Amino acid sequence: MAPARHGGAAGISVAELHKIVATLKTALEAGATAAEPPPSPPARSAVPVAPTAQRAELASRFARELEAVGGRFLGILAPAEAAARAVALARELGARSVA
């Protein structure tokens, strides 16, 4: 029997999603015990930066950090897309409620 597939553009299966979450959880737990200090926040720029550029930089940074711990970044979603994907995944999993 083939694994269930999410209907999104990425075509990721539920099993693949569970594996990603488990890998990320393991990496984060291992990182929590490391003696490495947390990264310092970026310095404030004297030149104003557009909110769009800030969001793009945050998404890029998240993608790099996620991939550094073995995750796979699937892209940026608009709020409406994120809601639609969450609803579709909940239906696929047979969730009765979502927190």
Using one digit for the tens of pLDDT, what is the confidence trace for 52-95?
788 888 888 988 998 999 887 877 778 788 888 888 888 888 88
Total-model pTM: 0.35
9 pLDDT band (50/70/90 cuts)?
Answer: very low
Tell me what percent of the residues of the chain surpass a pLDDT of 90. 4
Q: What are phi and psi of 83, to 5 degrees?
A: -65, -45
**Residue keyed to tokens 């929590």:** 32
Higher-pLDDT residue of 78 and 4 is 78
From the centroid of its chain, how far is CA 94? 22
* DSSP states along 23-90: HHHHHHHHHHTS-PPPPPPPPPPSS---HHHHHHHHHHHHHHHHHHTT--------HHHHHHHHHHHH
